[in-house]
Structure 1
Amino acid sequence: MHHSVSAVLLSLFLTGEGAALAQSPASTVGLSIRRVELVSDDAQPAVEVAVSPGLSTVFLFDSEVSREGLMLEGRERFAMVDAGLTTLRLIPSEKISAGERLKLTVRFQDGAAPASATFVLVAHPARSEAQVEVYRRKRSVETYQEEVRQARIEAEKCREENERLRGERGAPDGLTGLISTKVLSGRGVDFRDVTKDVTQGPAGAAASHTVNAYRAARRVAVEVALMSRGNDQPWTAVGATLRGKANEELKVLQVWQSGPVAPGSDTQRVVVEAEAASEAPQGSFTLKLWDADGRRTVTLGNVTFP
């Protein structure tokens, strides 16, 4: 179902016309494979590792570790702590708070230096480092070659992203811009009011009033009208994720908010725009929004696209 009014509205959202705030989601580095090399003296600083509720972080060690020597601060905040001889899998629960910093110490069995390794687990509302490889001995040439290969892949992704941004920056505003960048690609914009279907997580920083979903040829967008829960501090979304039931994640391109959500203020609109595959995203997604320090979030479940 195509709506010309929806196309005009979406063009306003994506170009940011009349926006009080225009922001891009905060980036988090090192979300795939992280490699840590330990030194043999006590000068090794604690390595920070991003973790997130419901997402798995796996540590791989090149030396056997002691299960009895594992020390994890705030262990009750984790839904899973699975320690093997050379692996450690952690899944934080919803009890962990964004921005919380928990100390993790592992001890090696052979008694050689370094005898232990210390990490600081930093809780993020939606981002985690999936795999952390910890090297106590000298790394092989193959691991360096793999690291170079991954760096080249990331550099190519950055190059493609820069080309996309330059192309869109040079495009005209409004509906003409959507046509010129092939966001519409002859199909228009599909619209769906999903307010009644969406569920909201408890203790959110703001309450949702209405939720609308949009889909074009190459983009999807979620528009959320938010109102204050009576908190004293104004709230502004700076980052977002759209994650499916199979843990697949859409690439968020930008987060736009009409103004801070604050007591006594009008309802404010937040629009999250993401890339869509050639086919429409299937199933329901969970939208998570967070503010600058990541401590106050808004989580909406069962978001579906037309």
Structure 2
Amino acid sequence: MTNNRIAHRLAAAAALAAALSVGAVPTALADGRTARPGALSHHAHADKAVKADLPPGDEGGWHGDGLSLNAADNKKVDRFLARARSAERTVSPEMQAVARISHANLIGFDHRLKSPDSLKRKVATALKEAPGQSVDTALSRISDSVRYTFQWTDGSYSRGVAIASSALALWGNDSVKWSNTWGRKHGYKGINSAWRDPGSGHVFEVQFHTPSSKWAQEATHKLYEEQRLPSTSPERARELQEQQDAIFASVPVPEGAEQLGAPAQTRPTDAQTLPAPVDRPAAA
């Protein structure tokens, strides 16, 4: 089954690349056996960093920024992080191939794994905002434990998004979220999407940006983080939102960006088997 999946992905990538005249996609990137130079060493570094970043908790729990997780919930988040690391090893080579096919810059690739502190803060915030919610429910709504950002110039953006999202769908990834905010008058601009990897079932995030929208996202990140803290007053939260709106208002909207939608799901069919041999009469 795994070999069939790899063969289908290679065939889909080759067909799409040929249609777009971008050249063949390297097998090493498409089948996930190898990645760009330094990728393996980064995997090892990422695993080490995840373990090193685990904050000390009381009796196995986690505490930070006025938030907390008990020992049982913290253990579940750690298991979720382990699954995210495992899925990333398969998904990342695909993202590199998609970036090449669509002529995108793969921004922030070294930060494709969400840090333990960041993820635990996000889960703890969700539990605080919905007291009756279980940690399993909160984790099921996390889509950015593994995340990627594709970036194109304004003039190449709409075509690039269409090609990249089509390639993701052709390779069997399920589109589970598509948030296009280019048409908003206020706030964040860009496309945030989430996909379910067909092999691991893990959900990962893909953002589609221009240089301006990516700059605005980074410029507003600390404002957004402060706005989300339980200790932030409603007055301060409104002030922070106004500052973010002012920054995003300066971002140009690429032509056609407002109309970009999620691609139709196109699953590769199973490999066809050869027909059974026809019985022939024995030679006289």
TM-score norm. by structure 1 comes to 0.23
Higher relative contact order (CA 8 A, sep 6+): 1
More helix by share: 2
More strand by share: 1
